[in-house]
Amino acid sequence: MINIATRIDPAIASAVSETITQLHGRHLIGNALVPAVAGATLEVLDPATGAVLGEAPAATTDDVARAVDAASAAFPGWAATPSRQRGKLLAEAARAIAAKSGALAAVLALETGKAIRTECRGEIATAIDIVTMYAGLASELKGETLPFDPQILTYTSREPLGVVAAILPWNVPLVLMMLKIAPALVAGNTVVVKASEEAPFATIEMARLMAELLPAGVLNVICGTGRDCGSALVEHPAVAKVTFTGSQAVGELIYQTAARKIIPVSLELGGKSPMIVYPDADMARVVAGAIAGMRFTRQGQSCTAASRIYVHNTLIDAFVAALRDAVAKLVIGDPLDEATDIGTVISQRQKAKIESYLALGERTAGAQVARCGELPRAGHLKDGLFLQPTIVTGLPEDSPLMREEIFGPVVCVQPWDDEDDVIARANDSDFGLAATVWTHDLRTALRAVQRLDAGYVQVNQNLTIQPNLSYGGFRKSGLGKEASLEAMLEHFTKKKTVVIDMR
């Protein structure tokens, strides 16, 4: 375990150290922290320093079986627990997380490289908000009575599916976990989470705090590689549903396995979201919205990132200049430092991938690649995976930088002058997750909203996922919705139709 006492408040440093030591090589199964059956572990690195942060367990099929067995054994009791009682327990779990949020935010910042002030505390607050919302929706697991025949009582009921597998990426692990486990648990399912092997500790610790209040086996978290742990979990015959956030390639594999097993899946696979700026837009708001939308403080590691910005010809030069100035003021530094706006990307692999896109941009005739801001100079950060926020202009529309999800701090800005053309360009993407429109003319805004083919469309703002607003993409951005009542009812229950002859 590395020494972080010089980087953060000593009391938090010692709580973090205790947490990571306690989690060393351990899954959460049946409310106990248990080592992997084969005893293997995976190194988890601190991307700001390159130091080894700790060891996560490396699951094999034996660990998967153990976790699914625990969840299967807990299912009948949990499904039979009144839904409002389940909701009450989850509301208590929300309070338990809040009580430990200081150390949890530091663990998250250390393993993901995301800045504690701009990202990690807010992520925990959102996770708490989501579980609190679902706890309050426990009474909404209602059926319907159906008009059929006065002598025949006909109704529907909502029933849990069984054991749900929730597979997570590293970018926003706590919010993405909560979007899956809170509706699944309130609806009466039991869960096995597969944590990201790159950022497992905050995930396991948050689940551990919750599981202390739940019957054993209701919530389990295992960790390992996608090949040995993730795929074995999806394949397990007792897994009745898979909910996944991550890459399109893995989403396709999971969908194929689910098709063979004939089980439902929810997939959240990323995006290349357009932001369309009209000539009447308010420049200061648009610049702030672009920084927020591009998730620069998360190094652009967001599926919703507004990574294609189309700015009207009349504004584009002023916009690019203002965006450069504003982005250059963001402080890149130690994720644990309160002064830091932007931390690191997650891994050397991701950094190399992002840099290969930038090199391609630099080789593209007519394109300009502007890297903004200062990289940190502090000695302990010399091996950190820092990147400057980067603005790319002058790209051809079919450039890979315009079409593929870079998942880094790289925004492409393009001009437009014809509305039909810009809407067509915005929609011409494999993805259809989100889009934003920037104008103060109501008719223009509504016309654009109607024509944009994306699952989450906003006008004059660029918010992240919000509890109670259904979130999910069109086309290759995925299948299904998250964050809402609809998500719980449609994706974590099955509907039974009951027909009773009363004669």
Binding site for ligand NAD (CB under 6 A): 167-171, 194, 196-197, 225-226, 230-231, 234, 245-247, 250, 253-254, 268-270, 303, 405, 407
Closest to ligand NAD by CB, 299 or 444: 299
d(CA 265, CA 479): 8
Closest to ligand NAD by CB, 117 or 351: 351
Closest to ligand NAD by CB, 376 or 480: 480
In this structure, is the dihedral angle defined by the CA atoms of residues 59, 62, 67 and 68, taken in order, positive or negative? positive
| Least Å from the CB of residue 370 to ligand NAD | 22
| Least Å from the CB of residue 410 to ligand NAD | 12
Residue nearest to ligand NAD (CB): 226
Place of tokens 């660029």: 462
Q: Where are the alpha helices (DSSP H) in 283-418?
A: 283-293, 316-328, 348-363, 400-403
CB of 218 closer than 8 Å to CB of 246: no
d(CA 304, CA 365): 28
Q: What share of the chain is helix, strand, coil (3-state, %, to 5)?
A: 40, 20, 35
Mark whether 268 is an active-site residue. yes
| Least Å from the CB of residue 13 to ligand NAD | 28
Other Cβ atoms closer than 10 A to 147: 7
In this structure, is the dihedral angle defined by the CA atoms of residues 100, 101, 102 and 103, taken in order, positive or negative? positive
Closest to ligand NAD by CB, 353 or 447: 353
Rounded to a whole number of angstroms, the distance between the first and last alpha carbons of the chain is: 71
From the list 268, 338, 374, 482, the catalytic residue is 268
- Angle at which helix 121-136 crosses helix 201-211, to 10 degrees, equals 30
Closest to ligand NAD by CB, 58 or 187: 58
| Least Å from the CB of residue 12 to ligand NAD | 27
Closest to ligand NAD by CB, 105 or 175: 175
| Least Å from the CB of residue 409 to ligand NAD | 13
Other Cβ atoms closer than 10 A to 365: 6
| Least Å from the CB of residue 456 to ligand NAD | 13
- The CA–CA distances, whole Å, from 242 to 249, 257, 372 equal 16, 10, 40
Task: State the catalytic residues.
Answer: 268
